Amino acid sequence: MDYLLQLAASPTAWVALATLIVMEIVLGIDNLIFISILTNKLPEQHRAKARRIGISMALVLRLGLLSTIAFIVQLTTPVFEIFGQAFSSKDMILIAGGLFLVWKATTEIHHSMDPEPEEKVSTSKVVTIGFAAAIGQILMLDLVFSIDSIITAVGMTEHLPIMIIAVVASVIVMLVAAEPLAKFINDNPTVVMLALGFLIMIGMTLIAEGFGAHVPKGYVYAAMAFSAAIECLNIARRNRHKRLLAARQ
């Protein structure tokens, strides 16, 4: 109890908490974009349930990993070396997750550009397989983003209560933003392509970091913010054009 009181009275702890919450929210939004794109491919009645399951799994994974911080820290220990390049367990997880993200985003882009004919199967079968596949893919990326999230937390503070508060706060933001973000992506098809482009960029960043090439996150998020701003202008232009056409009729 005294430890918590001392922590609450420390200005440094509050600064660390605020900074970590922002970092965790940014990582959470990356995770949420992927969840939104996947769940939007499910029948409408299953989307909200899949999003809640996906975000809940993200929280469980993050809190579970927090309880094994000693193990998580060891993930950065080199496991083997190839041509002078050492690889740790974290590196292998980031590379695998990045490859999966690039593959999935590329597949989604291909499907958007050249959709395959609908298979002649029962609706119930499509729903069951689609739901299970979506949950499985969400779980895999939840694991990648969760490990990245916890390692970020460990690198920024040594106080477990601060880590827990920041992680829980980021997941609450994900829960609040899930429905609006998913609806926005579903209502604006061009945003889907932009989001898939973001996922490819994030995937390539994960792969690069797995191979030891540090990519400053500020550059990545600045590029994403600039692209998103341009897309917002395009959406505003289209909406204004629609209103003008409606007013003339």
Band of pLDDT at residue 157, cut at 50, 70 and 90: low
For the chain, the average pLDDT equals: 77
pLDDT of residue 244: 86
pLDDT of 122: 44
Residue 217 CA to residue 201 CA, distance in Å, equals 11
Q: What is the mean pLDDT of residues 175-185?
A: 79
Q: Which residue has the higher pLDDT, 231 or 217?
A: 231
Question: pLDDT for 46-56, tens place per residue?
Answer: 888 888 888 88
- For residues 247 and 241, give the distance between their C-alpha atoms in angstroms, rounded to a whole number: 10
What would the pLDDT profile of 185-197 be if each residue is shown by its tens digit? 777 777 778 877 8
Average pLDDT over residues 59-73: 75
Q: Is the pLDDT of residue 121 over 60?
A: no
> 119 pLDDT band (50/70/90 cuts)?
very low
User: Is 80 exceeded by the pLDDT of residue 239?
Assistant: yes
pLDDT surpassing 80 at residue 238? yes
Please tell me which of 10-24, 76-90, 150-164 the model is most confident about, judged by mean pLDDT: 76-90
Predicted TM-score of the model (pTM): 0.64
Give me Rg for the CA atoms of the chain: 20
Q: Quick check: 181 pLDDT over 80? A: no
Cβ-contact 143, 61 below 8 angstroms: yes
Q: Is the pLDDT of residue 154 over 70?
A: no
Give residue 133's pLDDT band: very low, low, confident or very high (50, 70, 90): confident
157 in helix, strand or coil?
coil
Sorted by where each begins, the domain ranges of the chain are 1-215
Average pLDDT over residues 57-85: 77
pLDDT given at position 156: 64
Alpha carbons within 13 A on the beta-carbon side of 239:
8
The 3-state secondary structure of 174-195 reads HHHHHHHHHHHHHHCHHHHHHH
Check residue 129 and give its pLDDT: 45
* pLDDT value for 155: 62
Whether the predicted pLDDT of 73 surpasses 50: yes
Task: Using the CB atoms, write b or e for 150-168: b if 16+ within 10 Å.
Answer: bbbbbebbebeebbeebbe
- The yes-or-no verdict on residue 1 having pLDDT over 60 is yes
Torsion region of 43: left, alpha or beta (phi above 0 gives left; psi -120 to 50 gives alpha): beta
